[in-house]
Amino acid sequence: MYSVYLIIVLGLLSAFGPFVIDMYLPAIPEMTRVFSTSVSSVQLGLTFCMVGLAVGQIIFGPLSDMTADIHDKFDVIINASPVGMFPKVDACPVSDELIDGADYFFDVIYNPTKTLFLRKALEKGKVAKGGAAMLVLQAVRAHEIWNDDSYSDAQIESIICDMEELIDEQNAKK
């Protein structure tokens, strides 16, 4: 059971950096205004967050190396690495055995829309979502916060599908 929690923590730590940057950067002007401070002071907060992530990886990295066997059953596997990103689309961050042992898969990569990681999961009948959904959901949330907009689930799903189609069309031209 300990190894499951360790893998979840490591996955979240890996995903946390990109999430922080994606949410933090657009908010810098507003944070500067709200906290009545300089842009450099707000940027310092981001710097300390990244330092904290590095220290966390220094601590949890060796702990994960001490875990003898991770071929147990998992509920979710999250790929928060660039493995499988365009143009190197023939790579998968985990083995087929790990894919066999999980039920749900999420890949933060949005190009390609279906990475090898996601394709392998889908071929085995697993539930899998790609990174385009994350990007669209972040944009939707930003519009809700800053513009008082609202979107239905159907609108959001349509935007995700449109974005994935555009990415696939661009890749087909390359």
**Mean of the pLDDT values across residues 73-86?**
85
Query: CA dist 20 to 2, 38, 42, Å?
Result: 27, 20, 13
DSSP string over the chain: -HHHHHHHHHHHHHHHHHHHHHHHHHHHHHHHHHTT--HHHHHHHHHHHHHHHHHHHHHHHHHHHT-----S-EEEEEE-SSTT-TT-TT--SS-HHHHHTEEEEEE---SSSS-HHHHHHHHTT-EEE-HHHHHHHHHHHHHHHHH-----HHHHHHHHHHHHHHHHHHHHH-
What's the pLDDT score for residue 65?
63
What's the pLDDT score for residue 68?
47
Q: Label residue 126 by pLDDT band (50, 70, 90).
A: very high
Type of residue found at 16: F
How far apart, in whole angstroms, are the C-alpha atoms of residue 86 and residue 102? 25
Nearest residue to 63 via CA among 17, 16, 10, 8: 10
Token digits for 33? 């205004």
**Mean of the pLDDT values across residues 125-134?**
89
What's the pLDDT score for residue 72?
61
Q: Label residue 155 by pLDDT band (50, 70, 90).
A: very high
pLDDT exceeds 80 at position 117 = yes
Backbone angles phi, psi at 102, to 5 degrees: -125, 165
pLDDT exceeds 70 at position 124 = yes
Mind listing the pLDDT tens digit for each residue in 33-53?
888 888 888 888 888 878 887
